[in-house]
Amino acid sequence: MDRSCLCRPAVALALGLMLTLLAGRSFAQASPVDSRAAGPAATSDGPSAKADAAKSPASVGRQSILALFARANPMLWLLGLCSIVTVGFTLERLIGLRRGRVIPRDFVHRFQERLAAGKLDRDRASELCRSNESPAARILGHVVRYWGQPAATIRQAVDHDAAREVVDLRRNVRVLNGTATLAPLLGLLGTVIGMIQSFDAIGGKVGGGKSEALAQGISLALVSTAIGLGIAVVSVVAYYYLLNRVDLLVRDLDDQVRTVIDAISAESLRPAPIDRRVDHIRSESRSH
């Protein structure tokens, strides 16, 4: 198995985890603490309560974010994993689908110029393609394997051989389609679990604090839906953007392949019939 196939998801997840932690830290530093989350102590009177209220903005940080996850429901942890996967694979594909990495301009131009000048034969062209690790070089290497065959035959064979490269370009993009579908479902499930927990918590309460506890429970339950929808929006935007980039790269690759096929096909290597007839006529005139 190719090691790059195993390294790409690992790198993507590492990047996603790092950026998600940075975003969560920035959010924690910028967000105020909800007074309702502190419980009854926040509503009590006295100097200690005022002192805690005065210190509450400064206590916002990683602990408050972890407290939110602990108070809400376990679906938030799965949504956090979805966000890591979304950010990581988006960055991985943005880097992997750069034009200079998929279709190196210098390599393609040098290959076509030397081929048009007649400086390449089959062996030299294959060696030049093997010296480059880009998808364009690998696809052109498949084309060179059928050197001298009819253009239709080369085209049909290359379409089959290059399908793996196209699938490799689109492979990790499909992960974003999965997170776009899964994140809203997890968010909705988290909301349902949170609502159940809220109604169970206020079942034995009496008095005026019942409505306040219910409102707080519903608010926390809806957090998972909001997070799930946010992840889905980012995933959908990234998915269609990257899919469009893949389509543009495949179209450009197809143009480059057509140019090379026209240069190495049997039709281009075979002498024109009209030249043979002219040479035959000239030889007959000289004999007479």
**Tokens representing 56?**
């509450």
Whole-model pTM?
Answer: 0.68
pLDDT at 247: 93
pLDDT at 162: 84
pLDDT at 52: 47
The amino acid at residue 62 is R
pLDDT at 224: 86
Point out the residues of the chain with pLDDT beneath 50: 1-7, 26-62, 272, 274-278
pLDDT at 194: 81
- Which class for 251: exposed (0-12), middle (13-18), buried (19 or more C-beta within 10 A)? exposed
Q: Are 90 and 176 in contact (CB under 8 A)?
A: yes
Going by C-alpha positions, the residue among 100, 101, 125, 127 that lies closest to residue 111 is 125
pLDDT at 22: 54
Q: Residues 236-287: pLDDT tens digits? A: 999 999 999 999 999 999 999 998 988 888 777 665 454 444 455 555 555 5
The amino acid at residue 67 is A
Instruction: Report the C-alpha gap between 197 and 220 in whole angstroms.
Output: 10
Q: Residue 232, Cβ neighbours under 10 Å: how many?
A: 21
CA-to-CA separations, 95 to 64, 88, 137, 169, 215, in angstroms, rounded: 34, 11, 18, 12, 44
**Tokens representing 161?**
């051989």
Instruction: Report the C-alpha gap between 165 and 171 in whole angstroms.
Output: 10
pLDDT at 30: 46
